[in-house]
Amino acid sequence: MSNVNSAVIEQMMAHQSIRKFTDDDVPQAMIDTIVAAGQAASSSSFVQVSSVIQVTDKAKRETLQAASGGQVYVGSCPVFLVFCADLKRNQAICAAQGIDMPTGFAEQALIASIDTALFAQNSMLAAESLGLGGVYIGGIRNQPQVVTQCLNLPDQVVPLFGMCLGYPAQDPGLKPRLPLAMVLHQDSYQDLDEQQLTSYNQVLSDYYQQRTKGKLDTNFSEHIEKTLNKEARPHMLGYLQDQGWFTK
């Protein structure tokens, strides 16, 4: 391992997804700072195509919990944010100038999704640096139409994921990532190296056994097969097109 380090990198390396929170309130000033830190990330051509919906309304929280597969922390966590790729604001800015902004390009969807994820990762890390913990909720894409109606999202606004935040009430431990050599390629894409995979499978198997006191006996290959050998939210393309994305 390298001895290159910084306080920022230490914060990143300490990341774990937190799904249990204390009852302590998170002040609004903290949430504002977390979102402003997100805004400080890069934006492609400075188009600023992200919006965050903070959901405090209890009935809406329950709707979002049900629409995310019933994950209880979506309903109960101190702070729930929905990160949206928002092309609508700029469409409205163009409309105010009498311009009908072209929409529907796959490229625009890429820009808005990527920029919103850059934004969100700053927000997550900012929250962690303030002593909070959190987890991304991709589950809101289970029923994106329900989320869209619940938050009154117009066309050209796509709710990409939620984020639960609060003070941590658990310490699940750091999950070992793929070896760097499997992720960082030199000049050319390197196909899967089965030896590296076998070695990582053992590392992850040991981790799961230790974390679950022997109850979970699996590895990365099995996890991937179980997770990806099925249809992946097959409603998604139709939903995105309903929102005016991916029509060209």
Closest to its own copies by CB, 106 vs 169, is: 106
Q: Which member of 69, 102, 172, 173 binds its own copies (CB under 8 A)?
A: 102
Q: 12 to 51, contacts with its own copies by CB under 8 A?
A: 12-13, 15, 17, 27, 29-33, 35-37, 39-42, 44-48, 50-51
**Amino acid present at 208:** Y
Binding segment (CB under 8 A) for its own copies, from list 66-74, 95-103, 165-173, 209-217: 95-103
Whether the Cβ atoms of residue 118 and residue 48 lie closer than 8 Å to each other: no
Q: Which member of 55, 67, 77, 79 binds its own copies (CB under 8 A)?
A: 55
Binding segment (CB under 8 A) for its own copies, from list 53-61, 66-74, 164-172, 209-217: 53-61
**Is 214 among the residues that bind its own copies (CB under 8 A)?**
no
User: Minimal CA–CA distance to 47: which of 81, 84, 89, 82?
Assistant: 89
Binding segment (CB under 8 A) for its own copies, from list 68-76, 83-91, 165-173, 209-217: 83-91
Contacts of 9 (CB under 8 A, 6+ apart): none
The backbone region for 102, taken as left when phi is positive above 0, alpha when psi lies in -120 to 50, beta otherwise, is beta
Closest to its own copies by CB, 77 vs 160, is: 160
| Strand spans (E) along 32-166 | 50-54, 79-86, 133-137, 157-166
**Is 195 among the residues that bind its own copies (CB under 8 A)?**
no
- Phi, psi (5° rounding) for residue 72? -60, -30
Q: Which member of 76, 90, 145, 205 binds its own copies (CB under 8 A)?
A: 90
Exposure string for 180-192, b = 16+ CB within 10 A, e = fewer: eeeeeeeeeeeee
| Binding track over 138-177 against its own copies, x by CB under 8 A | x--x---------xxxx--x--xx-------------x-x
End-to-end CA distance of the chain: 46
